[in-house]
Chain A
Amino acid sequence: MELNFSKEDLQFRDEVRSWLENDYPKHVKAKQDNAEPLTRQDMVDYHKAVSAKGWMGYNWPVEYGGTGWTATQLYIFNKEFGLAGTPPLLAFGVSMVAPVIYTFGNEEQKAKYLPDILEFNTWWCQGYSEPGSGSDLASLKTKAVKTFDGKHYIINGAKTWTTLAQNADWIFCLTRTETTSIKQEGISFILIDMKTPGIEVKPIITIDGEHEVNSVFFTDVKVPVENLIGEEGKGWTYAKFLLAHERFGIASVGGSLRALNKLKEIASNLENTDLDKKITELEIDLNALEITELRMLSDLENGGQVGAESSILKIKGTEIQQRLTELMVESSGEHALLYPGPHGFGSNDKPSGPDYSADAVSKFLNMRKTSIYGGSNEIQKNIISKFVLGV
């Protein structure tokens, strides 16, 4: 048994660190470090910089222009980016729709979509949840009906909680092409250009005051049949494949370590609190999570399989992220009642009190979503009890 990284892995880690230090766009870093909001252009600059380094296809095979990294390298990459406090890389294009396209799409589709995803010329969003279909995603109702000439689908319905749809060029949607007795059948995976007539994006403002998610309405939206990925009616299989692809990184060990270190520094300057003990408990939790993730990596690297137990990463990872923001609120004391809104206080009339309290509550409120999205933590526990415990 050997828990240390190999020499090659350590060299790789140093390369990632060096990029983060020298080539991570300075204007993005400055805003990120000062908790200022990023514009769409900032996000594009950041992703294009990652792309220029050749790291955009971090989980893709080499033949499609990906890095072909081992699971350990991917882990190191995620952790170092998190530790450096970079914005999370947008998963919708590169790690969600792209693996579905290169695994189930045809050659034309691969040629049409993959290069733009790799260069971040297109911004993707995910059309999964619907007002009536959350945890029970397979009950979705957005309809795709083929025209008589068989050349188009006409799409009608509504998607919701669509992250950053206001910025997106494309949306990948689960749609119902057939009503079947088994709801998982009859679902098809269709790519839709957001500029197509009949699409309306309406903001949903969340409790932290942010506009991050949206409702997306489809009224007689005409989409070429060429935009269907794989076979009609097999969309659910592709969606499940996509979820399996998403598990790593979801533990957010790097980002949580960074937040933990900041919290330790804050607590060392505070008197008369019980923060130290709480932070220590959290540090041990985070340690346990990291080693759990490494055990799964080790299985993968040694020819094994990782199954439903990877839901542990989602559950514990989000619990730790939430707890970190809770302790940040606690360390703000009475200053936690100040509300700067999503875009911070103006620069001229900042209130007195500790800097870190300015966005503590916003972050706390924002992190509530993590135990709800991507399959709520209750659903994750159902998955473990069904597929791991066998009950």
Chain B
Amino acid sequence: MNLNFSEEQVMLKETIQKFCDNDYDFYKREEVIKSENDFDLNTWNLFAEQGWLSMPFSEDSGGFGMGPIELSILFEEFGKALVIEPYLSTVVLSGTLIDNSSYEHKKDIIERICSGSLHISLAYAEAKNSYNYNLPSTSLSSDLLLNGTKNLVLNGGNANKLVVSCIYNEELALVIVNADKDGISMNTFPTVDGQSCAEITFENVSINSEDVIGTGDNAITLLNNSISLATLCVSAEAVGCMSSCYLKTVAYTKEREQFGQPISNFQVLQHRMVDMFIESELCRSLLIKAMLEVDSGSDDMHKHVSGLKAQIGKSGKFSAQQAVQLHGGMGVSDELMIGHYLKKLIVIDALFGNTDHHLKKYAQ
């Protein structure tokens, strides 16, 4: 048994860490969020140059053939720095789904994702089907006209292409479509964590038969695997947020003096920070288990991802709430990162099924 990262994985972690620590500035991030843009294009291009956008894709498609372990490493660091660039939607949700499909043009699409020139969003959610992604009401008719409304499409406003789940011949199907095609209209909305999502309506949008990239059981597997991998990624991101929460809180309480001493002297605060540390370590353990299961493609992988996500929802909120509480008024100020970890962890709990949902899935 060896639960340590390989040498290559350690190097990858160090590179990403270095970028996040030195080059990903929180105040610049805030400026980007307040601007017209949803993310920073230079940063995205840098991700491409570093090869990070190519990480999870098969070597056949021009990727590095890395898996859930490397993605978890990346997302943990992204979590610490509160990265807003839409890696999750383009690379993880849509890119890996396409790469795993037998879509004719997948090589071309993956190449363009890797080079940073193409954004794709996965339209998996609808207003009425809370967390039940396999039963959309969006439909594809026998003459291949797409109709319906998708919501919470992550980074949808910036997407050049969309992967849309729908019902075709009474089965789940996945289609790929250009976002500017006639019959597509969208509204974009900000998300709590400073990103954006879209609500997209399809009205008699004609789909080429070759762009139906999966149907039936194949579509279900493609969609579920993609969402499980994304769930793993946001859980790793949460572990990054949680470790930053306790580290920053420890540093703050050592510095902040009240009653003539650093407030870290107070045992009640020490124990609270120890609890934050313990929660973060337990989540890391479940993350390791889940990423190994997903890496091996085991039958139990979805179950372990659910176990992880259920714990992340609880522990994440606990850690961030305590971080805010121990920072006092500063914790609720928009100027400090602390409150933004809370926002991120709320979003992560809501995405792809909250604690309640995954507890039920795990117990099934």
Contacts and interface: CB of A to CB of B under 8 A. Distances in A.
Contacts of A376: 325, 328
A274 B353 CA distance: 13
Contact of A339 (B191, B260, B333): B191
Output the residue of A136, A204, A330, A352 with the most chain B CB within 10 A: A352
B195 to A, nearest CB: 9
B328 A135 contact: yes
A370 to B, nearest CB: 10
B354 A351 contact: no
B309 interface: no
Interface stretch (A41-49, A205-213, A239-247): A205-213
A336 B359 CA distance: 19
Interface stretch (A17-25, A62-70, A74-82, A361-369): A361-369
Interface in B170-222: 187, 189-193, 197, 199
Contacts of B268: 378, 381
A132 B356 CA distance: 41
A interface, over-half SS? mixed
Interface size classification for chain B: 35 or more
B29 interface: no
B191 A372 contact: no
Interface in A280-315: none
A119 interface: no
B333 to A, nearest CB: 6
A272 B360 contact: yes
A160 B130 CA distance: 42
A368 B342 contact: yes
Interface string A152-166: 000000001100000
Interface string B71-86: 0000000000000000
Contacts of B308: none
Given A336-B192, A338-B189, A361-B192, A207 B339 contact: yes
B347 interface: yes
Nearest to A212: B332
Contact of A351 (B151, B325, B331): B151
A333 B357 CA distance: 9
Chain A to chain B: the 4 pairs with minimum beta-carbon distance, closest first? A207-B339, A136-B258, A352-B127, A336-B350
Interface of A: 129, 132-136, 139, 160-161, 204-207, 209, 213, 270, 272-275, 326, 329-330, 332-341, 345, 349, 351-353, 361, 364-365, 368-369, 371-373, 376-378, 381
Given A339-B190, A351-B189, 10 more contacts: A134-B258, A206-B333, A272-B360, A274-B359, A337-B193, A338-B152, A345-B189, A351-B151, A372-B332, A376-B328
27 contacts: A134-B328, A134-B329, A135-B328, A160-B329, A204-B334, A204-B335, A206-B332, A209-B334, A213-B329, A270-B130, A274-B356, A330-B356, A334-B152, A334-B350, A334-B352, A335-B151, A335-B350, A336-B350, A337-B192, A338-B197, A339-B190, A339-B191, A351-B187, A351-B199, A361-B343, A372-B325, A373-B329
